[in-house]
Protein backbone atom coordinates (compact mmCIF):
# COMPACT_ATOMS: atom_id res chain seq x y z
CA UNK A 1 0.00 0.00 0.00
CA UNK A 2 2.75 2.44 0.89
CA UNK A 3 5.18 3.89 -1.61
CA UNK A 4 8.75 2.80 -1.07
CA UNK A 5 10.75 4.48 1.63
CA UNK A 6 14.09 4.15 -0.16
CA UNK A 7 13.43 7.19 -2.27
CA UNK A 8 11.09 8.49 0.40
CA UNK A 9 8.70 9.15 -2.43
CA UNK A 10 5.52 9.31 -0.44
CA UNK A 11 3.06 12.05 -1.22
CA UNK A 12 2.49 15.03 1.05
CA UNK A 13 -0.63 15.68 3.10
CA UNK A 14 -3.76 17.79 3.11
CA UNK A 15 -5.15 19.23 6.32
CA UNK A 16 -4.94 22.15 8.76
CA UNK A 17 -3.48 25.42 7.41
CA UNK A 18 -1.15 26.92 9.92
CA UNK A 19 1.53 29.10 8.44
CA UNK A 20 4.83 29.60 10.01
CA UNK A 21 7.47 31.84 8.94
CA UNK A 22 10.25 31.21 11.32
CA UNK A 23 13.58 32.18 12.58
CA UNK A 24 15.66 33.22 9.65
CA UNK A 25 17.83 35.85 8.14
CA UNK A 26 18.43 38.13 5.24
CA UNK A 27 20.57 36.11 2.82
CA UNK A 28 21.71 33.58 5.32
CA UNK A 29 25.19 34.94 5.52
CA UNK A 30 25.11 38.37 7.14
CA UNK A 31 25.18 39.28 10.78
CA UNK A 32 23.54 42.68 10.79
CA UNK A 33 19.93 43.71 11.07
CA UNK A 34 18.28 47.09 10.61
CA UNK A 35 20.57 50.07 11.29
CA UNK A 36 23.56 47.75 11.46
CA UNK A 37 22.43 45.97 14.60
CA UNK A 38 22.99 42.26 15.09
CA UNK A 39 20.22 40.09 13.68
CA UNK A 40 17.87 38.41 16.09
CA UNK A 41 17.20 34.69 15.91
CA UNK A 42 13.81 35.46 14.39
CA UNK A 43 15.62 37.23 11.56
CA UNK A 44 18.37 34.67 11.07
CA UNK A 45 18.10 31.27 12.69
CA UNK A 46 21.14 29.22 13.64
CA UNK A 47 21.83 26.35 15.99
CA UNK A 48 24.23 28.52 17.98
CA UNK A 49 21.56 31.18 18.51
CA UNK A 50 19.09 28.51 19.58
CA UNK A 51 21.65 27.11 21.99
CA UNK A 52 22.22 30.56 23.50
CA UNK A 53 18.52 31.34 23.93
CA UNK A 54 16.03 28.86 22.50
CA UNK A 55 13.06 30.98 23.63
CA UNK A 56 14.00 33.66 21.11
CA UNK A 57 14.16 31.13 18.27
CA UNK A 58 10.58 29.92 18.13
CA UNK A 59 8.87 29.79 14.73
CA UNK A 60 6.78 32.83 13.84
CA UNK A 61 3.64 32.86 11.74
CA UNK A 62 2.32 34.90 8.80
CA UNK A 63 5.22 37.32 8.60
CA UNK A 64 5.26 37.85 4.82
CA UNK A 65 2.25 36.15 3.22
CA UNK A 66 -1.17 35.26 4.57
CA UNK A 67 -2.17 31.63 4.97
CA UNK A 68 -3.71 30.10 1.88
CA UNK A 69 -6.52 28.66 4.02
CA UNK A 70 -8.97 26.29 2.34
CA UNK A 71 -7.88 24.82 -1.00
CA UNK A 72 -8.88 21.77 -2.94
CA UNK A 73 -6.40 18.91 -2.34
CA UNK A 74 -5.17 18.81 -5.93
CA UNK A 75 -2.04 19.98 -7.65
CA UNK A 76 -1.95 23.69 -8.35
CA UNK A 77 -1.45 25.01 -11.86
CA UNK A 78 0.19 28.21 -10.62
CA UNK A 79 1.71 29.53 -7.40
CA UNK A 80 -0.90 31.28 -5.28
CA UNK A 81 -0.60 35.02 -4.84
CA UNK A 82 1.27 36.27 -1.81
CA UNK A 83 -0.99 38.69 0.02
CA UNK A 84 -0.46 40.26 3.41
CA UNK A 85 -3.43 41.66 5.33
CA UNK A 86 -5.40 41.72 2.10
CA UNK A 87 -2.80 43.68 0.15
CA UNK A 88 -0.35 42.59 -2.54
CA UNK A 89 2.61 40.99 -0.79
CA UNK A 90 5.08 42.00 -3.47
CA UNK A 91 6.00 38.57 -4.83
CA UNK A 92 5.91 37.96 -8.58
CA UNK A 93 5.64 34.60 -10.34
CA UNK A 94 6.64 33.44 -13.80
CA UNK A 95 7.25 30.23 -15.67
CA UNK A 96 10.26 28.87 -17.49
CA UNK A 97 11.46 25.67 -19.08
CA UNK A 98 14.76 23.82 -19.29
CA UNK A 99 16.04 20.27 -19.40
CA UNK A 100 12.83 18.97 -20.93
CA UNK A 101 10.59 20.24 -18.15
CA UNK A 102 8.86 23.39 -16.93
CA UNK A 103 9.39 25.26 -13.70
CA UNK A 104 7.71 27.92 -11.59
CA UNK A 105 9.71 30.86 -10.30
CA UNK A 106 8.77 33.28 -7.51
CA UNK A 107 10.78 36.24 -6.26
CA UNK A 108 10.28 39.67 -4.71
CA UNK A 109 9.11 42.21 -7.25
CA UNK A 110 12.34 44.19 -7.01
CA UNK A 111 14.75 41.65 -5.62
CA UNK A 112 15.57 37.99 -5.33
CA UNK A 113 19.27 38.58 -5.85
CA UNK A 114 20.66 37.14 -2.62
CA UNK A 115 20.39 33.53 -3.65
CA UNK A 116 18.73 30.84 -5.76
CA UNK A 117 16.64 28.23 -3.94
CA UNK A 118 15.74 25.16 -6.02
CA UNK A 119 12.84 23.13 -4.60
CA UNK A 120 12.13 19.53 -5.66
CA UNK A 121 8.64 18.17 -5.01
CA UNK A 122 7.45 14.83 -3.66
CA UNK A 123 6.11 11.96 -5.75
CA UNK A 124 2.93 12.98 -7.60
CA UNK A 125 3.40 16.64 -6.68
CA UNK A 126 4.46 19.50 -8.92
CA UNK A 127 6.38 22.74 -8.66
CA UNK A 128 3.47 25.11 -8.09
CA UNK A 129 2.05 22.96 -5.31
CA UNK A 130 5.51 22.75 -3.74
CA UNK A 131 5.66 26.55 -3.68
CA UNK A 132 2.20 26.80 -2.16
CA UNK A 133 2.35 24.02 0.43
CA UNK A 134 5.91 24.74 1.55
CA UNK A 135 5.33 28.51 1.73
CA UNK A 136 8.14 29.29 -0.66
CA UNK A 137 6.76 32.68 -1.69
CA UNK A 138 7.18 33.65 1.94
CA UNK A 139 10.74 32.37 1.87
CA UNK A 140 11.48 34.34 -1.30
CA UNK A 141 10.25 37.58 0.23
CA UNK A 142 11.67 37.07 3.72
CA UNK A 143 15.17 36.19 2.51
CA UNK A 144 15.24 38.12 -0.79
CA UNK A 145 15.65 34.96 -2.85
CA UNK A 146 14.70 33.68 -6.26
CA UNK A 147 12.85 30.40 -5.72
CA UNK A 148 12.54 27.87 -8.53
CA UNK A 149 10.37 24.75 -8.33
CA UNK A 150 10.59 22.50 -11.41
CA UNK A 151 8.17 19.74 -12.34
CA UNK A 152 9.79 16.35 -12.65
CA UNK A 153 9.65 15.19 -16.29
CA UNK A 154 9.79 11.55 -15.21
CA UNK A 155 6.47 9.74 -15.04
CA UNK A 156 6.07 6.44 -13.24
CA UNK A 157 4.66 3.78 -15.59
CA UNK A 158 4.11 6.53 -18.18
CA UNK A 159 1.19 7.94 -16.18
CA UNK A 160 0.75 11.34 -14.60
CA UNK A 161 2.68 10.47 -11.46
CA UNK A 162 5.76 12.67 -11.46
CA UNK A 163 8.73 11.44 -9.46
CA UNK A 164 12.11 13.11 -8.96
CA UNK A 165 13.90 9.98 -7.77
CA UNK A 166 15.24 8.73 -11.10
CA UNK A 167 18.58 8.40 -12.84
CA UNK A 168 18.30 11.43 -15.13
CA UNK A 169 17.41 13.90 -12.39
CA UNK A 170 20.89 15.49 -11.98
CA UNK A 171 21.05 16.61 -15.62
CA UNK A 172 17.58 18.16 -15.46
CA UNK A 173 18.38 19.96 -12.22
CA UNK A 174 21.59 21.38 -13.72
CA UNK A 175 19.69 22.68 -16.74
CA UNK A 176 17.03 24.29 -14.57
CA UNK A 177 19.64 26.02 -12.40
CA UNK A 178 21.43 27.46 -15.43
CA UNK A 179 18.22 28.64 -17.07
CA UNK A 180 16.84 30.15 -13.86
CA UNK A 181 20.03 32.13 -13.29
CA UNK A 182 19.81 33.58 -16.78
CA UNK A 183 16.08 34.34 -16.52
CA UNK A 184 16.43 36.07 -13.16
CA UNK A 185 19.64 37.89 -14.09
CA UNK A 186 21.62 36.20 -11.33
CA UNK A 187 25.42 35.97 -11.44
CA UNK A 188 26.91 32.55 -11.95
CA UNK A 189 28.39 32.57 -8.44
CA UNK A 190 25.08 33.32 -6.71
CA UNK A 191 24.58 31.00 -3.69
CA UNK A 192 22.42 28.02 -4.68
CA UNK A 193 20.56 25.91 -2.13
CA UNK A 194 19.05 22.65 -3.37
CA UNK A 195 16.09 21.51 -1.28
CA UNK A 196 13.86 18.48 -1.63
CA UNK A 197 11.14 16.67 0.24
CA UNK A 198 10.54 12.93 0.09
CA UNK A 199 11.49 11.74 -3.41
CA UNK A 200 12.66 15.30 -4.11
CA UNK A 201 15.20 14.87 -1.32
CA UNK A 202 16.39 11.66 -2.97
CA UNK A 203 16.89 13.60 -6.22
CA UNK A 204 18.86 16.31 -4.43
CA UNK A 205 21.12 13.60 -3.09
CA UNK A 206 21.50 12.10 -6.58
CA UNK A 207 22.63 15.54 -7.76
CA UNK A 208 25.24 15.71 -5.00
CA UNK A 209 26.50 12.17 -5.54
CA UNK A 210 26.79 12.75 -9.28
CA UNK A 211 29.52 15.27 -8.49
CA UNK A 212 27.56 18.30 -9.62
CA UNK A 213 29.14 21.40 -8.16
CA UNK A 214 27.93 24.96 -7.91
CA UNK A 215 25.62 24.56 -4.94
CA UNK A 216 26.23 25.91 -1.44
CA UNK A 217 24.07 23.49 0.46
CA UNK A 218 21.50 20.72 0.63
CA UNK A 219 18.23 20.72 2.57
CA UNK A 220 16.83 17.18 2.69
CA UNK A 221 13.38 16.89 4.30
CA UNK A 222 11.72 13.52 4.98
CA UNK A 223 14.46 11.92 2.92
CA UNK A 224 14.36 8.38 4.25
CA UNK A 225 16.72 5.78 2.84
CA UNK A 226 18.53 7.29 -0.11
CA UNK A 227 21.71 5.24 -0.31
CA UNK A 228 20.76 2.05 -2.17
CA UNK A 229 20.67 3.17 -5.79
CA UNK A 230 23.95 3.14 -7.70
CA UNK A 231 23.71 6.88 -8.30
CA UNK A 232 23.55 7.53 -4.55
CA UNK A 233 26.14 5.02 -3.44
CA UNK A 234 28.30 7.88 -2.18
CA UNK A 235 26.26 7.59 1.01
CA UNK A 236 27.05 3.94 1.55
CA UNK A 237 29.24 3.21 4.56
CA UNK A 238 32.08 2.04 2.33
CA UNK A 239 31.99 4.97 -0.04
CA UNK A 240 31.46 7.94 2.27
CA UNK A 241 35.08 8.36 3.30
CA UNK A 242 36.35 8.01 -0.26
CA UNK A 243 33.71 10.40 -1.54
CA UNK A 244 35.05 13.11 0.74
CA UNK A 245 38.16 13.21 -1.43
CA UNK A 246 36.34 13.25 -4.77
CA UNK A 247 33.49 15.75 -4.37
CA UNK A 248 33.17 19.31 -3.21
CA UNK A 249 31.46 18.98 0.17
CA UNK A 250 28.54 21.28 0.87
CA UNK A 251 26.58 22.26 3.95
CA UNK A 252 23.91 19.64 4.63
CA UNK A 253 20.77 19.80 6.78
CA UNK A 254 18.45 16.81 7.16
CA UNK A 255 14.99 17.35 8.68
CA UNK A 256 13.09 14.26 9.74
CA UNK A 257 10.04 13.49 11.86
CA UNK A 258 10.64 10.85 14.50
CA UNK A 259 7.28 9.26 13.56
CA UNK A 260 8.43 8.72 9.98
CA UNK A 261 8.94 4.98 9.36
CA UNK A 262 12.16 5.89 7.55
CA UNK A 263 13.59 7.92 10.45
CA UNK A 264 16.43 5.51 11.27
CA UNK A 265 17.55 5.54 7.63
CA UNK A 266 17.96 9.30 7.85
CA UNK A 267 20.08 8.93 10.99
CA UNK A 268 22.40 6.63 9.03
CA UNK A 269 22.58 9.05 6.11
CA UNK A 270 23.43 11.89 8.47
CA UNK A 271 26.41 9.93 9.72
CA UNK A 272 27.66 9.45 6.17
CA UNK A 273 27.31 13.16 5.39
CA UNK A 274 29.32 13.91 8.52
CA UNK A 275 32.04 11.60 7.24
CA UNK A 276 32.04 13.27 3.84
CA UNK A 277 32.28 16.73 5.41
CA UNK A 278 34.96 15.67 7.89
CA UNK A 279 32.91 16.46 10.98
CA UNK A 280 34.61 15.22 14.18
CA UNK A 281 33.03 13.63 17.21
CA UNK A 282 29.33 13.31 17.84
CA UNK A 283 28.37 16.93 17.26
CA UNK A 284 26.44 19.28 19.54
CA UNK A 285 22.74 18.83 20.29
CA UNK A 286 20.39 21.74 20.91
CA UNK A 287 16.83 21.28 22.17
CA UNK A 288 14.27 23.69 20.72
CA UNK A 289 10.82 23.96 22.38
CA UNK A 290 11.06 20.39 23.73
CA UNK A 291 9.90 18.96 20.40
CA UNK A 292 12.98 19.57 18.28
CA UNK A 293 16.52 18.24 18.65
CA UNK A 294 19.18 19.76 16.42
CA UNK A 295 22.47 17.89 16.24
CA UNK A 296 25.08 19.88 14.34
CA UNK A 297 28.77 20.37 13.66
CA UNK A 298 30.27 23.53 12.20
CA UNK A 299 33.92 22.67 12.83
CA UNK A 300 34.21 20.13 10.01
CA UNK A 301 37.44 19.60 8.13
CA UNK A 302 35.86 20.46 4.78
CA UNK A 303 34.80 23.88 6.02
CA UNK A 304 31.15 22.92 5.57
CA UNK A 305 28.95 21.82 8.44
CA UNK A 306 26.19 19.27 8.82
CA UNK A 307 23.05 19.13 10.93
CA UNK A 308 20.15 16.82 11.58
CA UNK A 309 16.86 18.20 12.86
CA UNK A 310 14.71 15.62 14.61
CA UNK A 311 11.11 16.82 14.94
CA UNK A 312 9.51 14.66 17.58
CA UNK A 313 5.89 15.56 16.84
CA UNK A 314 6.14 15.05 13.08
CA UNK A 315 5.84 12.26 10.53
CA UNK A 316 6.88 11.93 6.90
CA UNK A 317 6.24 15.50 5.81
CA UNK A 318 7.59 19.05 5.72
CA UNK A 319 7.37 20.67 9.17
CA UNK A 320 5.70 24.05 8.93
CA UNK A 321 3.93 23.38 5.63
CA UNK A 322 0.71 25.20 4.83
CA UNK A 323 -2.01 22.64 4.15
CA UNK A 324 -5.59 22.83 2.91
CA UNK A 325 -8.36 22.42 5.46
CA UNK A 326 -10.40 20.55 6.44
CA UNK A 327 -8.64 17.17 6.18
CA UNK A 328 -10.12 14.76 3.70
CA UNK A 329 -10.97 11.53 5.57
CA UNK A 330 -10.74 9.53 2.34
CA UNK A 331 -7.69 10.84 0.52
CA UNK A 332 -5.65 11.36 3.66
CA UNK A 333 -5.70 7.59 4.16
CA UNK A 334 -4.63 6.73 0.62
CA UNK A 335 -1.02 7.50 -0.31
CA UNK A 336 -1.29 9.14 -3.69
CA UNK A 337 -5.01 9.72 -3.27
CA UNK A 338 -4.51 13.39 -2.54
CA UNK A 339 -1.88 15.25 -4.51
CA UNK A 340 -1.61 17.71 -1.67
CA UNK A 341 -0.38 14.68 0.14
CA UNK A 342 -1.53 11.72 2.16
CA UNK A 343 0.89 12.27 4.96
CA UNK A 344 -1.24 12.15 8.09
CA UNK A 345 -0.99 8.36 7.94
CA UNK A 346 2.71 8.76 8.71
CA UNK A 347 2.27 11.20 11.58
CA UNK A 348 0.98 14.73 11.87
CA UNK A 349 2.59 17.81 10.40
CA UNK A 350 4.55 19.68 13.06
CA UNK A 351 4.76 23.41 13.62
CA UNK A 352 7.50 23.14 16.23
CA UNK A 353 10.13 23.71 13.52
CA UNK A 354 9.87 25.55 10.23
CA UNK A 355 11.67 23.65 7.49
CA UNK A 356 11.06 26.63 5.21
CA UNK A 357 12.74 29.62 6.86
CA UNK A 358 14.54 27.95 9.74
CA UNK A 359 15.69 25.15 7.46
CA UNK A 360 17.10 27.59 4.90
CA UNK A 361 18.84 29.68 7.54
CA UNK A 362 20.35 26.60 9.15
CA UNK A 363 21.88 25.50 5.85
CA UNK A 364 23.36 28.96 5.27
CA UNK A 365 24.77 29.09 8.79
CA UNK A 366 26.75 25.92 8.04
CA UNK A 367 28.14 26.78 4.61
Segment 194-213, tens digit of pLDDT: 999 999 999 999 899 888 77
pLDDT at 226: 67
Distances (CA, A) of 72 to 17, 82, 133, 268, 323: 12, 18, 12, 37, 10
| CATH for the 41-366 domain, from 3.90.550.10, 3.40.50.1820, 3.50.50.60, 3.40.190.10 | 3.40.50.1820
Q: Which of 245 and 259 is assigned the larger pLDDT?
A: 259
Closest listed residue to residue 221, CA positions, set 305, 128, 307: 307
Lowest-confidence pick of 31-35, 53-57, 114-118, 322-326: 31-35
Question: What is the rounded CA–CA span in Å between residue 326 and residue 329?
Answer: 9
Place 95 in a pLDDT band, splitting at 50, 70 and 90: very high
Q: Could you state, in order of their start, the residue ranges of all structural domains in the chain?
A: 41-366
Question: Please, are residues 284 and 257 in contact by the beta-carbon 8 Å criterion?
Answer: no
Find the mean pLDDT for residues 100-118.
97
Dihedral angle of Cα 61, 44, 49, 132, to the nearest 10 degrees? 40
Give the start-end residues of each E strand in 216-305.
217-221, 251-257, 284-288, 292-297
Examine the pLDDT at 227 and tell me if it is beyond 80.
no
Question: Please, are residues 276 and 265 in contact by the beta-carbon 8 Å criterion?
Answer: no
Alpha-helical (H) ranges within 82-236 are: 127-133, 136-143, 169-184, 199-209
Half-sphere exposure of 342 (CA within 13 A, CB side): 18
Place 260 in a pLDDT band, splitting at 50, 70 and 90: confident
Question: What is the rounded CA–CA span in Å between residue 205 and residue 84?
Answer: 35
% of the chain beyond a pLDDT of 70: 75
Query: For the chain, how many helices (H) and strands (E)?
Result: 8, 12
Lowest-confidence pick of 33-37, 72-76, 247-251, 355-359: 33-37
pLDDT at 348: 77
pLDDT at 238: 66
pLDDT at 76: 85
Place 342 in a pLDDT band, splitting at 50, 70 and 90: very low
Residue 76: CB atoms within 10 Å: 21
Closest listed residue to residue 248, CA positions, set 224, 205, 295, 213: 213
* Residue 147 backbone dihedrals phi, psi, to 5 degrees: -110, 130
Examine the pLDDT at 272 and tell me if it is beyond 50.
yes
pLDDT at 329: 52
Question: Please, are residues 282 and 341 in contact by the beta-carbon 8 Å criterion?
Answer: no
Place 354 in a pLDDT band, splitting at 50, 70 and 90: very high
Amino acid sequence: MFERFRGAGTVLAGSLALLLAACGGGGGGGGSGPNGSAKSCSEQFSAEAAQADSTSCQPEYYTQCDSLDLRLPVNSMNPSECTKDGADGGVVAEKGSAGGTSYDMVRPANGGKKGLYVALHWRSGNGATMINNMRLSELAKARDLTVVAPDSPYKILAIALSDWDYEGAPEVISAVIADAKARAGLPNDVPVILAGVSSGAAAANRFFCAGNTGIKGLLLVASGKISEAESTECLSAAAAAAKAATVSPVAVVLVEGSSDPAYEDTVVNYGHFRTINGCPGAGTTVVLNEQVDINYSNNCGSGHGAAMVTVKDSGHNWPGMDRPIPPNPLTDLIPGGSSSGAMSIFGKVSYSFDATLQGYDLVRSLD
